[in-house]
Amino acid sequence: MRIMIVDDEAMIRDSLAHLPVWHSMGCEIVAAACNGQEALEYIPRTRPDVIITDIRMPVMDGMELAEKVRALYPSISVIFVTAFGDFEYARHAIKLGVADFITKPVQTEEVTLAVDLLKQGVRQWNQDNRLREEKCLQVLFAGESPEPEDPAYAELLGKELLLMSVEVDNIELLHHTGKPVSMLALREMVCCMLKYHPFPYWTYLEPKGIGVLLIAHEHSPGELKHAGSRLAREIVAAAEGSFGHTVSIGISDCLTSPGELKNARKANRECLDYRMLLGKGSIVSSDVIGFLERKRMEIEAERMRELAVILRQGEDAAIRDFLRSVYREMLSKGLNKSQVQRYASMLVIEAGNILNEYMPAKGQEPMEDVHKSLLSYDTLKDLMTYLERVLSQTAEYCRTGENHAAARVLRGVTKYLETHYQGEITLTSLAQHLHMNHSYLSRLIKKETGRNFRDLLWEYRIEASKALLKQSDMKSYEAAYQVGFKDPAHYSQLFKKTVGVTPTEYRESMLAK
């Protein structure tokens, strides 16, 4: 327990500060001040748990000091040291929450007993308080109302509130790697810091961290949000050193009713999703979500086609450049965690489709494992590193299975022609359908068939028109329109060039048979 001594008489101040029993009691004297004003200036730097103070002092007396401590640092206990004649007067300080009174001349046994009883009382009070606070919060988070006579609930009514969610970064991965993570240790670290902030607070455990509820008081109107942001920065800065892991924090808007806590908790989860973009140790407030949401990225098919080309080329440097571009775009668009995961999933699905073209046996099960893994990452940087490994491995498989790919692509071209030949199709629309670069597809078709896509399309349409001419009395120009030609004269020229006779001569020869 950390103790501050406040007395304008140097002899009494020094005597109390140097009592030999402090060490054996587990106490430390962190400051000694000559008046209340000096004591207030020392508190932020020394962070005492208990202040033992005289009542009558110049500049600022003990009564005023106790009042200000109650307003600014409600978790700090105050013990008055008073002359016998002041005792009745000091009794009025009970309303200020003064913990105990010690009479002058000060006896060592009386001081140590007061501090020891305070330690025991604070410990039990903390345990009891936490239980009733968590019970009240469980009801509120469920969207229900606690009993009106619940004293914990009464503490929240009519007060401005601020909810903070403190989560350990990448906690799933920490569990998988066997690194210990203690939520109780995190809670104690945060509580030690909260003692020296000017607001009452509640804490509660969450699956991935802890929650903090700050409660405004009449002495600090309009300061709650600012105090919460300052506290969040201090927690993030201290966590990696004293707790051993980085944390990120979501901060709600200021609330005017306990009934808003359920939605505030949900909003904080959405805040923490943006850690995917901002990285470990992020602080995200609800009031910036709207801005980030307006900048969310529309996932475009062009990105998928670009990835397909890169994977087929099999160049690791191109993969790195592509992912750097994706990383910058995600940051500029302001995607949250779920949106980033959807984008990453689309990249993985596209990689699986490409892999299936080259090595069908490897196109399914490995990608299912990849999907599970990518959902465990909390930061964008770690996710992109993982994606680079996955895409580089896919490119390697594509290089290995390249001999099988051309035949699969050509089967895709044939299937597309079978179902779309009557419409206005182009090499570009075919490439989009196959998620391929149109230039690469054009070269592949030429290499494997000796013809370009336009020739393949015309040949397929000619074959389809031959079936119509044989099986009906359809005019040649009607057959031309039916199979997708827009110019009957052009159709007739191509038909004769391909078949050796005009459409009319072909039908007559078929009828003659």
The CATH number assigned to the domain holding 420 equals: 1.10.10.60
Query: What was the pLDDT predicted at 435?
Result: 73
Name the domain boundary from 400, 429, 458: 400
Would you say residue 385 lies in a domain? Answer: yes
Euclidean distance between CA atoms 400 and 358, whole angstroms: 8
Claim to verify: residue 445 and residue 502 sit in the same structural domain: yes
Claim to verify: residue 281 and residue 162 sit in the same structural domain: yes
Euclidean distance between CA atoms 256 and 108, whole angstroms: 48
Checking DSSP bridges between strand 201-206 and strand 161-168, what pairing results, if any?
A: unpaired
Claim to verify: residue 178 and residue 220 sit in the same structural domain: yes
Amino acid at 336: N
What backbone phi and psi angles, to 5 degrees, belong to 251?
-125, 130
Claim to verify: residue 225 and residue 344 sit in the same structural domain: no
Would you say residue 141 lies in a domain? Answer: no
Query: What was the pLDDT predicted at 71?
Result: 80
Tokens at residue 347, please? 């990249």
Claim to verify: residue 280 and residue 313 sit in the same structural domain: no
Would you say residue 49 lies in a domain? Answer: yes
Claim to verify: residue 392 and residue 470 sit in the same structural domain: no
Cα first-last separation, the chain: 109
Q: 101-127 in b/e burial notation, b at 16+ Cβ within 10 A?
A: bbbeebeeeebbebbeebbeebeeeee
Would you say residue 265 lies in a domain? Answer: yes
Query: What was the pLDDT predicted at 363?
Result: 45
Claim to verify: residue 26 and residue 99 sit in the same structural domain: yes
Q: Do residues 286 and 293 lie in contact, with contact meaning Cβ atoms separated by under 8 Å?
A: no
Would you say residue 206 lies in a domain? Answer: yes
Residue with tokens 């399914």: 364
Tokens at residue 315, please? 């160049």
Claim to verify: residue 290 and residue 321 sit in the same structural domain: no
Residue with tokens 């009514």: 157
Would you say residue 143 lies in a domain? Answer: no
Structural domains counted in the chain? 4
Question: In which domain, by residue range, is 387 found?
Answer: 301-400
Backbone region of residue 420 per phi and psi (left: phi > 0; alpha: psi in -120 to 50; beta: other values): alpha
β-partners of residue 247 are 168
Would you say residue 144 lies in a domain? Answer: no
The CATH number assigned to the domain holding 96 equals: 3.40.50.2300
Query: What was the pLDDT predicted at 129?
Result: 73
Measured in whole angstroms, how far is the alpha carbon of residue 148 from the centre of its chain? 36
Tokens at residue 22, please? 């402090």
Claim to verify: residue 267 and residue 164 sit in the same structural domain: yes
Name the domain boundary from 121, 145, 173: 121
DSSP codes joined into one string, 114-157:
HHHHHHHHHHHHHHHHHHHHHHHHHHHHTT----TT-HHHHHHT
Name the domain boundary from 400, 416, 439: 400
Would you say residue 495 lies in a domain? Answer: yes
The CATH number assigned to the domain holding 287 equals: 3.30.70.270
Claim to verify: residue 99 and residue 164 sit in the same structural domain: no
Query: What was the pLDDT predicted at 164?
Result: 96
Claim to verify: residue 54 and residue 116 sit in the same structural domain: yes
Euclidean distance between CA atoms 422 and 432, whole angstroms: 18
Model pTM score: 0.48
- pLDDT by residue, tens only, the chain of 513 residues: 899 999 999 998 998 999 888 888 888 999 999 999 999 999 988 989 899 998 889 999 988 998 888 888 877 888 888 765 554 555 565 556 677 777 677 778 778 877 877 776 655 556 667 778 888 998 999 999 888 888 889 989 989 999 999 999 888 777 677 676 778 788 888 988 887 777 888 988 888 889 999 998 765 557 888 889 999 999 999 998 888 889 999 999 999 999 999 999 999 998 888 787 678 899 998 877 766 666 544 545 778 888 888 887 778 889 999 999 888 877 776 667 887 888 888 888 888 887 776 665 554 445 667 777 777 888 888 888 889 988 888 888 777 766 566 777 788 888 888 888 888 888 888 888 887 777 878 888 888 888 888 888 898 899 888 888 887 678 888 888 989 998 989 999 999 998 899 988 888 888 776
Nearest to 382 by CA among 435, 340, 434, 352: 340
Query: What was the pLDDT predicted at 364?
Result: 47
Claim to verify: residue 339 and residue 434 sit in the same structural domain: no
